[in-house]
Amino acid sequence: MDEELNSKPSRLLVLYASQTGNAMDAAERIGREAERGGCPSVQVLSIDHFGASCLPDEKVVIFVVSTTGQGDIPDSMKVFWKSLLQRNLSNQWLEGLHYAVFGLGDSGYQKYNFTAKKLDKRLSDLGAEFLIEKGLGDDQHPSGYEGALDPWLLSLWRRLNIVHPYILPRVSDIMDPSKRSLDQAKFEVLYHFADEIQSKLSTISDLKDTEKVIESALSMSPAQFYYHEKRPEYFLQMITNQRLTEEVDGRDVRHFEFKTTSSLIDYQVGDVLEILPSQNPAAVDAFIQRCNLDPSCYITVIPRESNNQSLGRHSKSLVHPIKLKSFVEYTMDVASASPRRYFFEVMSFYAEAEHEKEKLQYFASPEGRDDLYEYNQKERRSVLEVLEDFPSVQMPFEWLVQLVPPLKTRAFSISSSPSVHPNQVHITVSIVSWTTPFKRQRYGLCSSWLAGLDPCKTNGVYIPALVTQGALRPPPPSVPLILIGPGTGCAPFRAFVEERAMQNLTGSVAPILFFFGCRNQNNDFLYKNFWSSHAHDDGVLSADKGGGFFVAFSRDQPRKVYVQHKMKEESKRIWSLLSAGAAIYIAGSSTKMPADVTSTIEDIIAEESGISKDSAARWLRLLEKAGRFYIEAWS
488 is in an annotated binding site: yes
157 is in an annotated binding site: no
88 is in an annotated binding site: no
544 is in an annotated binding site: no
Say if CB 488 and CB 524 are below 8 A apart: no
CB neighbour list of residue 199: distance below 8 Å, 6 or more residues apart: none
564 is in an annotated binding site: yes
Q: What is the DSSP letter of 74?
A: P
560 is in an annotated binding site: yes
533 is in an annotated binding site: no
In this structure, the number of other CB atoms found within 10 A of the CB of residue 128 comes to: 20
Helix, strand, coil content of the chain in percent (nearest 5):
40, 20, 40
First-last CA distance in the chain: 57
Cα distances from 17 to residues 112, 603, 632, in angstroms, run 16, 36, 21
Say if CB 158 and CB 174 are below 8 A apart: no
69 is in an annotated binding site: yes
615 is in an annotated binding site: no
Reported as half-sphere exposure (CB side, CA atoms, 13 A), residue 544 has a value of 7
Coil, strand or helix at 66: strand
413 is in an annotated binding site: yes
243 is in an annotated binding site: no
598 is in an annotated binding site: no
AA letter at 406: P
Sheet holding 298-303, edge to edge: 187-192, 298-303, 322-323
Count Cβ neighbours within 10 Å for each residue of 571-602 and write b for 16 or more, e otherwise. Answer: bebbbbbbeeebbbbbbbbbeebbeebbebbb
284 is in an annotated binding site: no
105 is in an annotated binding site: no
Q: Nearest to residue 369, comparing CAs of 400, 396, 337, 344?
A: 344
Q: Nearest to residue 227, comparing CAs of 448, 499, 19?
A: 19
634 is in an annotated binding site: yes
446 is in an annotated binding site: yes
Binding site residue list for NADP(+): 488, 554-555, 560-564, 596
Binding site residue list for FAD: 380, 410-413, 444-447, 634
Binding site residue list for FMN: 18-23, 66-69, 139
Binding site residue list: 18-23, 66-69, 139, 380, 410-413, 444-447, 488, 554-555, 560-564, 596, 634
